[in-house]
Amino acid sequence: MIQPVILAGGSGSRLWPLSRKLNPKQFLDLVEKDRSMLQATLGRLEGLEVSGPTIICNEDHRFLAAEQMRQANFADARIILEPVGRNTAPAIALASLEAVEGGEDPVLLVLAADHLISDVGAFQEQLAVATPLAEQGKLITFGIVPTCPETGYGYIHRGSDVVGGGYTVSRFVEKPDLMMAEQYVASCEYLWNSGMFMFRASRYLEELGQFRPDILKACRSAVQGKVNDMDFVRVDPAAFEACPEDSVDYAVMERTKDAVVVSLDAGWSDIGSWSSLWSVSDRNAEGNVLSGDVIAVETEDTLVRADHRLVATLGVKDLVVVETKDAVLVAHKDQVQGVKKVVEQLEKDARNEHINHREVYRPWGVYDSVDNGHRYQVKRITVKPGQKLSLQMHHHRAEHWIVVSGTAKVTNGENSYLVSENQSTYIPIGQVHTLENPGVINLELIEVQSGSYLGEDDIVRFEDRYGRR
């Protein structure tokens, strides 16, 4: 039985403005409509004998991950929360320690949540090649058959010795320059380093203990101090924060004598930029990838994504145009690796457009910041059936709620009452209150906030069914 381990951290800043710090690319439907990259990653394991997946993500993304597992019917998913990012070696150590805790020793299939694999059949065939090798104690890395002299990936130089359906690993190579990449591809001895692995949990822990005992010790302490919280496993934060940072490649794979590379030719891409998304997407006769309400006139080899309004292009070529509710990106396809510079500038200017979208997801639903100004803010709030906001109060703002559809159950101080469509209620500053949807359809309401400070950190929670503080 294979146990999938999905690494779902990362910010995906090169795909701004769609990918944001609190809603990064692995949780977006970039390639498949209505299915996120995380969901697609698990979907390509359908038909295989696999156990419930382990998802590793950070605290900020926990409800996104849980909701997407619910939507994809992975009720048996286990979500491990990292208090801080410590790279892939510690993340995989947490999953491995969890896996062997009950005396079992499954084969772990470690996958990134934000990769594309278009040929699922070929992918599953190579998993079948790798599985018996992992069961025998080998540590498998999957090397992608290169389609071009790519300078944005690391490479794996395969050895001459054949092991099962794979090869010994001669060495791992950092990202090369173009001339060296051309030589690698021409030799047919080098593969792209995909960041996907397969090995028994115990073997990974053995090798990590040999080469990086400091990482293993910190992760053991973190797991020993874990707390199960609803859908989540919370490891001891102090122990994990003390863990050194390192990748699985540096910590284990480049050092072990049991590394084996299995080649993979399955339409793989890490979707690391807008140009890479354009290259793997279906294009029209003019070479354009168009999504949403788009009019493209005399436009060639261009990606246009319009999420909320009409976007028109005229007389352009080789561009990326991405529209969201609060930001628009226009860039040449050759310059999209520099999108990170835009994100860095937003951060330097203390803006919020790199952190979250106008629409913000919560475990109870979603809110959209429709308008804001001096001493006021307007939100459209959607509460899912049966869900409830925390019992809370605000020091600096009052709130006026107008129900658009559905029925709200409101607790306002000592009083509790229903508010139906076209009715409203008022929550004074300092009043303890909560909002609940007792119905079977979504509750939609408009919230008008007024006060001297309207930040999201002006919330004092007294009770919360989702474990938020």
In this prediction, residue 229 carries a pLDDT of 83
Nearest by Cα to 114 from 20, 46, 43, 38? 38
Q: 3-class SS at 153?
A: coil
Q: Could you say which architecture CATH assigns to the domain 2-269?
A: Alpha-Beta Complex (3.90)
In this prediction, residue 231 carries a pLDDT of 77
- pTM, to two decimals: 0.88
Q: How far, in Å, CA of 294 to CA of 322, rounded?
A: 11
Those residues of the chain that have pLDDT short of 50 are none
Would you tell me how many other CB atoms lie within 10 Å of the CB of residue 242?
Answer: 14
Strand extents, DSSP E, 16-106: 54-58, 78-82
In this prediction, residue 162 carries a pLDDT of 86
User: What residues form DSSP beta bridges with 366?
Assistant: 361, 382
Does domain 359-463 match CATH 1.20.120.340? Answer: no
Domain spans of the chain? 2-269, 282-348, 359-463
Triad 50, 52, 57: Cα angle to 5°? 120
